[in-house]
Structure 1
Amino acid sequence: MINPQWLRTFATLAELGSFTRTADRLDLTQAAVSQHVQQLERRLGPLLIRRPRHAEVTPAGRALLDYCRELDQAERRLHGRLADDDATHGEISLISPGSVGLALYPVLLALQAEHRGLRVRHRFAPDREVLEAVLDNRYELGLTSVRPDDPRLAAAPFSEEPLELVVPASVRVEGWCDLQRLGFIDHPNGPSMANRLLRQAFPGNPGVRSLPVHGFSNQISLILEPVARGFGFTVIPRYARQAFARPEAIAVVETTSPVVDTLWLIHRSEWPLSACAQLAMRRMRDASRPEPTVAKTKPSRSKAVACKTVRRPR
């Protein structure tokens, strides 16, 4: 690595064109200025043509001046990043479950549109990967449905995310047998989510694994597409349902005992958040997504395990 003092001496000499004035500005002797230039020229070749009244920079010297400017700019960027006093320039990095991510990603893009100095990096991931990514400093902010117990992570409640039973808009669910006729649209978290919600909505039911499976998707934004086409029902977080592009094609079955997960906003606790992250947090908390118009239907109050006691969908 080139000695930074030699570079400062050379850049000042190129600016002033005089060994004497360079020595005065840098509080050095003329001999020290000459020595610094000689050290550089031993490594890089001729940098100056020494004239009686001024020094002229060679092409190699101009290349070195470009290098000095690049170093100066990099140093200013480093100081700016460490000072972190500008919330409108820098990177916003968020890792979250796909459902809430569908709601938040447009919010962050709107923030980037307001401040073009921002860059948004967002990844959808399950809870375990969220925790690991924030701990490893690969993402500054994370959202998870599991409150971490690691002291290296700070966690605060961010929002609540209810699970919803979603069916085709034309279907009325009166009991368990209506779900049997519909069939289940599965997804990676489908069985666990469905069992948690259906246990409350239809007490005594034989479980989601007793239902026929009429489809599967691991893309959070596509899980409701087969439901909208009438191929079956599913259980999905509300944020994912709200982001669906055709709300008129689906219906939410209201339940008397909702199942609600708390989402936790996490970050490393050992150092302060960047100004960009703080701005993003405020915008995400303040953002309110309007509830899309969606049909709602209520299940029968009976346990409705026996199919013969249930009316067919109207």
Structure 2
Amino acid sequence: MYQPQWLRSFATLADVGSFTETADRLGITQAAVSQHIRHLEQTLGPLMLRSKRPLELTPAGQALLIYCQEIDRADQRLTLRLSEAEVTCGEISVITPGSIGLQIYPLLLALQQQHPDLVMRHRFAPDSEVMDAVLHNRFEMGMVTQKPDDRRLSATRFAEEPLELVAPAGAQAASWQDLEALGYIDHPDGQAMATRLLSRRFPGNPGVRNLPLRGFSNQISLILEPVARGLGFTVIPRYARLAFARPETIQVIESEIGLVDTIWLIHRAEWPLSSRAKLALAWLQERLG
């Protein structure tokens, strides 16, 4: 690692081409500038041709100048990321399960369209991966369907999301026999979701594992595709259903007996959310109601 003042002297010298002007700009002596360059050259070799006017960089000097520029850009990004004043600049990072992610990502892009200096970084992941990513600072905030009990995580209610029984448009799905006739479209959380909802709607049923399995998809955006083609029914969170592109091909089987999950917003408890994250959350909550 090179001393920052050495690199500052070199980058300024490469810019202005004069030891004297470099010393004046940095408020140090010309001898100090020469000493900084000598320290660098002891490790890197000749950095410039002093006989040329203006000074000409050697290949090693060109490589060091690029290095100095990269450090400068990294310093700017760090300052921007830590600056609470720059609410509409910098990265907003959030990791979520698939259903709520389908709903919020387009909304975050709409916020970025209003503030092009924002950068949205979003990832789909199950609850366990969401918590791990937030704990290890890979994402500033996350959303989960189960409230974590880890004291390092702050968890607040973000939204409520009903589970829905979704069948092909026009299909009968009022009884357990209707569901058996349709067959079940499974997904990674499907067994748990279907068991929780169907046990309430059809008490004493033999269980979702006894239904004919008509298909499986681990892509949240594709789970409803076989349902839309009349191949079976599924149980899925509402936000996933709302994101489906062909709502006319499916139907929600309504019932007075429902089941609502809470979506929890999590972040590291030791420090507050950035101003950019707070802006994004206010934007999302206003539009999600």
TM-score after normalising by structure 1: 0.80
**Gaps in structure 2 of 5+ consecutive residues:** none
Give the drift of 1:175.
2.0
Q: Is the radius of gyration larger for structure 1 or structure 2? A: 1
1:149 corresponding residue in structure 2:
149
CA RMSD of aligned residues (A): 2.7
1:45 corresponding residue in structure 2:
46
Single out whichever of 238-247 and 119-128 deviates more from structure 2. Answer: 119-128
Give the drift of 1:180.
1.7
User: Does the residue aligned with 2:284 lie in a helix, a strand or coil?
Assistant: helix
Aligned-partner Cα distance in 1 for 2:85–2:204: 58
Aligned-partner Cα distance in 2 for 1:152–1:221: 32
Aligned-partner Cα distance in 2 for 1:229–1:12: 66
Residues 228-267 of structure 1 aligned to structure 2 (within 5 Å): 228-267=228-267
Give the drift of 1:12.
5.2
User: Does the residue aligned with 2:218 lie in a helix, a strand or coil?
Assistant: coil
- Write the deviation string for residues 53-106 of structure 1: whole angstroms up to 9, x where unpaired: xx7423339735565455444333332222243232222222111111111111
Aligned-partner Cα distance in 2 for 1:67–1:138: 25
Residues 105-144 of structure 1 aligned to structure 2 (within 5 Å): 105-144=105-144
2:276 corresponding residue in structure 1:
276
Change over 3 Å in CA distance of 1:59–1:258 after alignment to 2: same
Give the drift of 1:27.
5.4
- Write the deviation string for residues 128-177 of structure 1: whole angstroms up to 9, x where unpaired: 11111111111111110111111111111011111111112212333221
Aligned-partner Cα distance in 2 for 1:171–1:12: 74
Give the drift of 1:191.
1.9
Change over 3 Å in CA distance of 1:25–1:103 after alignment to 2: closer
Change over 3 Å in CA distance of 1:158–1:13 after alignment to 2: closer
Residues 118-197 of structure 1 aligned to structure 2 (within 5 Å): 118-197=118-197
User: Does the residue aligned with 1:92 lie in a helix, a strand or coil?
Assistant: strand
1:205 corresponding residue in structure 2:
205
User: Does the residue aligned with 1:287 lie in a helix, a strand or coil?
Assistant: helix
Residues 11-30 of structure 1 aligned to structure 2 (within 5 Å): 15=16, 17=18, 19=20, 28-30=28-30
Contact preservation (8 Å) 2:169, 2:228: yes
Contact preservation (8 Å) 1:48, 1:56: no
**Gaps in structure 1 of 5+ consecutive residues:** 290-314
Change over 3 Å in CA distance of 1:74–1:182 after alignment to 2: closer
Aligned-partner Cα distance in 2 for 1:276–1:33: 40
1:225 aligns with 2:225: yes
